[in-house]
Structure 1
């Protein structure tokens, strides 16, 4: 539980420092917000640790408040505080990836999730997460999805178990919106979505879900997560095994074209 709250505590501390510096400069929240491109309510949320300031807004705040770079030195920590501790290393790798492959067994991968689906998942967590933690993680997960369209375009491959697409987490309406988003993202030029049908008699992914990230230069890094714990796989022979396994999984799944048609058919059943 302590790890889950570390990011929240840091963001509250950052927000308190911003408030102190703003008041010392004689600016109201509305006045600071106008100079940073935020509304007064957004500045309030940042100062209370409920919202994460954009990196460029932090730099601008240093200029406006004449802090000598005091806020800017915390920019990377603010960025990483959005994520639970066990995912922070993977988030850094994901942001720099030239290719990212995901085999999903239990839930839709985070880069494909809708806001409603994210919020539903986080509300199911036990022990229960605080509301501000939920809102921060919803915002962080949605912000991660910018990597899908950044320049230069990375390559993305998702293989989703059919059961993931049928599980009505959050209700039928949430699932319908989620399936629609998967189809939309799957039509991007740099994205391929495939479905592993339940009736397959051979499935190389029986050991469970994983990510395989390719960094600039060709280095592979694997990522495995379960029950709030995670493992980064760096050894060459292990990442080579993951790459081979993922290739077999893709060959066993429906093609991207067949998969999108299948997902659309599921939408018609909801």
Structure 2
């Protein structure tokens, strides 16, 4: 599906070439060249494969945290300090998956975010009990430390809804996700209460796609859209621990058309609120 949509990445899970990643890669390459080392000579000395070092220099991989320390032994302490400075803008948020890092950064700068989900309630709308229910069912299971880090990271991300009051958030959620009952009745009650509370924020619009809807444009699966401060739209797709960032204008335009159609097909914000209240009462 990524290739058909003109995705900005070659393989699932590889981030598109962002400026910060390209800058770090260029700095690493310049320091390596200054030391008169080829990738084939440098890679084994820092205990990474040649292919991995090549991807870092190309801006296709986030540098591992111990690369600076290992590089100091090969390139010298001064070069390691330069690398550390270049890596400051690449600091990952603890608890967020590596393949999600780039989109998380785009979310923080966006002036509009649109989400359609048919597999799980969007992360920005998940109450803690629902988050825990999901991670308890994650395979392979995370360690307890990873579990708590991921719960905390997801809850922290939800501050975007209030920290960005001028950002417009639009969510379309399949009714089936509310009927599924993940985690049991108490978790479902928490979920309904949370959706009602988040839906009262003036910059948040939540719409439910009815369980029975013959005219449905979301059959291609979940999707995310973000509008940047430069009024450029970016698309995003994720599944099974992989993600694809989509920047091709034609592909993003197609996603926008589908999303716009679904907004007309889903229940209005007011009708959604009424349905959520009805389900909560039941």
Normalised TM-score (structure 2): 0.68
Greater relative CO, 1 or 2 (CA 8 Å, sep 6+): 2
* CA distance 1:252–1:225, change in 2 (3 Å): same
**Match of residue 262 from structure 1:** 275
Tell me if structure 1 keeps the 8 A contact 2:94–2:149. no
Looking at secondary structure, tell me which structure has more helix per residue: 1
- Is it true that 1:215 corresponds to 2:228 in the alignment? yes
Equivalent of 2:147, from 125, 131, 134?
A: 134
**Match of residue 124 from structure 1:** 137
- Which structure 1 segments of 5+ residues have no match? 4-70
Equivalent of 1:190, from 203, 206, 213?
A: 203
Distance in structure 2 (CA, Å) of the matches to 1:132 and 1:73:
29
Q: Secondary structure at the match of 1:202?
A: coil
Normalised TM-score (structure 1): 0.71
Aligned length: 201
* CA distance 1:77–1:237, change in 2 (3 Å): closer
Distance in structure 2 (CA, Å) of the matches to 1:236 and 1:249:
20
**Match of residue 10 from structure 1:** none
Tell me if structure 1 keeps the 8 A contact 2:111–2:167. yes
Q: Secondary structure at the match of 1:80?
A: coil
Distance in structure 2 (CA, Å) of the matches to 1:151 and 1:81:
21
CA shift for structure 1 position 151: 4.3
- Larger Cα Rg: Structure 1 or Structure 2? 2
**Match of residue 153 from structure 1:** 166
CA shift for structure 1 position 93: 0.6
Distance in structure 2 (CA, Å) of the matches to 1:202 and 1:152:
33
Tell me if structure 1 keeps the 8 A contact 2:113–2:168. yes
Tell me if structure 1 keeps the 8 A contact 2:114–2:225. yes
CA shift for structure 1 position 75: 6.2
Q: Secondary structure at the match of 1:170?
A: coil
Q: Secondary structure at the match of 2:258?
A: helix
- Is it true that 1:238 corresponds to 2:258 in the alignment? no
Q: Secondary structure at the match of 1:205?
A: coil
RMSD of the TM alignment (CA)?
2.0
